[in-house]
Amino acid sequence: MLAEKLYNAQHRHPAPTILVIGDLMLDHYIFGTATRLSPEAPVPIVNANRESKIIGGAANVASNLIDLGAEVYLAGVIGNDTFGEEVKQLLEEKKINTSLIVKDEARRTTVKTRIIAGTHQIVRIDNEDTHDISPTLEKTFFNFLAPYLEKVDMVVLSDYNKGLLTHSLSLKITALCKKLGKKIIVDPKGLDYTKYQGAYIIKPNRKELAEASKTERIHNDDALIKAANVILKVTEAQYLIVTLSEAGIAIITKDSCQVIPVVATEVYDVTGAGDTVIATLAYCLSLGFDTIEAATVANYAASIVIKHIGSATTTVDEIITSLKNN
């Protein structure tokens, strides 16, 4: 039933146009083998034999949306450096519009380097600046962005807490979206969820929800609902969609809680799975799916990408096949 609805929506509706706003990153992978420990320290020696660079953060959300078939605008900042240019080049190769990406002279482009031996990640090295963008750049960025909010079907805030989505900028974007009648969904970070006030959906994972709601531990449904209600009250969001790892996805409103079980699959790497979930939610909601249907499809999408090492994407055809087979 859901597979048929997804197929029909894909073929009968024009592609939705979605604006993704958030922190841009470059995911750098070094692959190799490790057969012995270093004589210098109790760490493995990785014999590197391959490397790759992939767009990450909000750019990975945009990449997921493109592969699902959406039209995408991506807004964010990069540093004035070679890594920033690599991010733009990779985006252009994916046919993602880069006209809303601006350079911040006061920061480096975020680069996450992961060293992987076989199928195991040995270490991650982060090169980044995480201070807030300046008030001047914030004003310029918002004024640059505002006209595009009228053109799109939905807006996604992909917040990795790297300095773009300041408290004031997030509230300005949300306020304008509400004025224009546009739904905004948020992948949050940090402890201050007041900056997401007025969002339609907020999608934390269990750990993020516990930290933001100041809940010591979310170990059962009662604790989950109690923590969710803290955030719903603070943000006035319509829905909280909480990814629960091996327990699936919870869809919570002030009056209800429904848990969608996880789709059984082999897990190789959960990197970027949250990006796939938020992208699939935005895509399905833009096509008229209700929130439970969209979350169910997103659950299946996540089960596909975690079979791959590194940030991966999926397609509507792959999701339809998975829906039919489960």
Please, which pLDDT band fits residue 14 given cuts at 50, 70 and 90? confident
Determine the Cα–Cα distance for residues 302 and 205; give it in Å rounded to an integer. 13
Mean pLDDT of 140-164: 94
Across the chain, mean pLDDT equals 90
Residues across the chain: 326
User: What is the mean predicted confidence (pLDDT) over 284-297?
Assistant: 92
Catalytic sites, residue numbers: 275
Dig out the tokens for 18 from the structure. 């979605």
pLDDT at res. 221: 86
CA dihedral (303, 309, 315, 320) positive or negative: negative
Map out the domains of the chain with their CATH numbers. Answer: 2-34+47-325 (3.40.1190.20)
pLDDT of residue 265: 56
The region of weakest confidence among 68-82, 127-141, 244-258, 259-273 is: 259-273
Indicate if the pLDDT at residue 155 is higher than 70. Answer: yes
pLDDT at 313: 76
Mean pLDDT of 172-185: 95
As a whole-number percent, the residues of the chain with pLDDT over 70 amount to 95
Statement: residue 302 has pLDDT above 90: no
pLDDT band at 309 (very low <50, low <70, confident <90, very high): low
Write down the pLDDT at residue 156: 97
Q: Is the pLDDT of residue 204 over 90?
A: yes
Residue 68: count other Cβ atoms within 10 Å of its Cβ: 27
- Selected residue with higher pLDDT from 51 and 246: 51
HSE-CB at 82 with a 13 A cutoff on CA atoms is: 1
Does the pLDDT value for residue 264 go beyond 60? no
pLDDT score for 310: 55
Answer yes or no: is pLDDT of 305 > 90: no
DSSP state of 210: H
How high is the pLDDT of residue 179? 94
| CB-based burial label for 219 (10 Å; 0-12, 13-18, 19+) | exposed
Q: In the predicted model, is pLDDT for residue 87 greater than 70? A: yes
pLDDT at 170 over 80: yes
| 82 vs 301, residue with greater confidence | 82
pLDDT tier, 320 (very low <50, low <70, confident <90, very high otherwise) = confident
> Which of 12-21, 119-128, 259-268 is predicted least confidently?
259-268
- Tell the residue number behind the tokens 């040995």, with chain if given: 122
Whole-model pTM over 0.85 = yes
- Per the CB < 8 A criterion, the answer to whether 304 and 322 are in contact is yes
Q: 35-64, pLDDT tens digit by residue?
A: 999 999 999 999 999 999 989 999 999 999
